[in-house]
Amino acid sequence: MSSLRNYSLLMILSLGLAALVPTAEGAPNGKTTCATLAKPTIPGASVLSIQSQHLPNSTVLASPPLLNSNFTGLDLCGVDLVISHHGANDTVKIQVWMPSTGWNGRFVGTGGSGYAAGFFEYSLAPLVALGYAAASTDAGLSGDPYSPALWALHPNGTVNEDLLLNFASRSVHDMAVAGKAIAAQYYGRKPAHSYWNGCSTGGRQGLVAAQKYPRDFDGIVAGAPAIDWSRYVVAEQWPQVVMKEEGTYISQCVLGYFTDASVAACDSLDGVADGVITDVRPCNFDPFTLVGTRVQCDGGKENVTKEMASVVGKILAGPTGPSIPHAYALNPGAALDSLANTTIVNGTRVGLPFFVNDAWIKYFVKKDPDFDTSTIGYSDFEKIFNQSQQEFGQVIGSCRSDLSGFYSAGGKLIVWHGLADQLIFPGDTVAYHRNVTQALGNSSTVAEFYRTFLAPGVDHCGGGATPGAVPADPLSAVVAWVEDQKAPDVLEARKTKADGTVVTRNLCPFPSVSRYRGTGDKSLASSYTCA
């Protein structure tokens, strides 16, 4: 299970913080010091407390693979706010970090992953090191990214709608309002520009900001967004449903064999054999071609059966039905052993559902922590899928396609998604892009403020041993778009291979795809063009 968590939770590994000792500090604006900051005004909420202190020479230790470098010598003003929404009986923490010197005039809101809305120091330190003022929030939740058990339900078994609203959207706006107000106090001037940067749950939060609070951020980076939450999260259960109904649970070893075979079948369609499926659309991988082959696994060789191939085929096709708007399915090349994970219990192989969908169905749809998701069959799946959308689509669907308010406000939005994402379906991101285009009625208008970049061969948020090139610095790209009117015609990406070779690519704005020019070094972006 730990390997799945490393893939999906990009901001969770523990960090080491040096002792943070308050000291006296000079005021950047000559008037307000870190210690004298006042409570900001947050509409709809009361600020219960504010604690601020100067934190010089702070250190955040590296936690690979999520934080690959130590951050030392940070000199910052750290602010902790505790707020409560009127009538909600909640307690929300917002943390703001601001560089004591060298502020670049910008504010950045940061997001979370899984069931956590944010991760405080872990996501703030890298931004402060770059000169940004930055903020994070726990949305009043437990802070446990793996489970909503401590906050999802009231004692009477009903959903805690206030905390769900916090998680879905409200906390994003609160953090933006508070963070910018605190920065304006401290520096004596408002941030010149405000940005959002997040992936997974953080990507969904960024899209929510554009949809519901179009003037909170000038630029947004939404990576692998957990968009269409009320439907996609239930769809994550589909591989487990298929294995249950077909009575065939496949080992991780054999699942990996199917994944590798899909890459081998479609890798060279772009004319470059590099272990990456550049364009999944023409890939017609047939799992039945593996029937009868033998796979070397830790316990010996395993035979690939037609039952296994049938299961994989159904998983890759995704669920279908009159209420399912598009294929909620993994792409060829995505690891199957996350959503279709299995384990051995008492000598028998059984399903091991991913924690996000397992918890959502238990706590929110069924409102029963003891519900066994392994009992869900085809007919039950469709009922649960529909119930989730009906009850929670308006709250946490996060897929409103009318972004005219964000466009009118002058906002810029970069969405990126790995085509080999094994947790959140890239097809959802493509469908949303098309819906936005349809809502605004003109693809040229959409391209003026909103661009989607699909990253071939990249897994969820680029957090694993992905063979594809991962976006190098999408935040800088959106900053250049906002401040210099430099639209991102490509998004720079890179990958360092085990032998030290650096592979570069220019990700193309959807619907364009990267094509090899026919000459030149195949590991360099200059040898490719968008077509």
**Out of 54, 85, 417, 460, which one is annotated catalytic?**
460
Whether residue 305 contacts residue 294, with contact meaning beta carbons closer than 8 Å, is answered with no
Cα four-point dihedral sign 355, 360, 361, 367: positive
What does each C-alpha distance from 433 to 270, 367, 428, 450 come to in angstroms? 24, 33, 9, 9
Q: State the catalytic residue, choosing from 216, 218, 337, 421.
A: 421
Gyration radius of the chain over CA positions: 23
**Active-site residue among 100, 200, 230, 251?**
200
Alpha carbon 253 to its chain centroid, in Å, reads: 27
Cα dihedral sign for 121, 123, 129, 134? negative
The residues, any chain, with a CB within 8 Å of residue 304's CB and separated by 6 or more, are 254, 257, 290, 291, 292, 293, 294, 295
Q: Which residues pair with 220 in a beta bridge?
A: 196, 413
Residues 6+ apart with CB under 8 A from 284: 266
Judge whether 100 and 83 are in contact, CB under 8 Å: no
Neighbour tally for 347: CB within 10 Å: 5
The closest of 45, 24, 48, 20 to 36, measured between CA atoms, is: 24
Q: Is 479 left (phi over 0), alpha (psi -120 to 50) or beta?
A: alpha
Q: How far is it, in rounded angstroms, from Cα 382 to Cα 238?
A: 10
SS3 143: coil
CA distances from 210 to 95, 173, 216, 304, 414 (A): 22, 11, 8, 47, 11
Give catalytic status of residue 421 as yes or no: yes
**What token pair was written down for 304?**
């690939």
Beta strands in 253-373 (DSSP E): 294-297, 300-303, 342-345, 348-351
3-class SS of residue 82 = strand
Cα(456)–Cα(528) distance, rounded to whole angstroms? Answer: 13
Measured CA to CA, the distance from residue 415 to residue 420 in angstroms comes to 16
Q: Which of 118, 96, 120 is nearest to 194 (CA)?
A: 96
Catalytic residues: 200, 421, 460
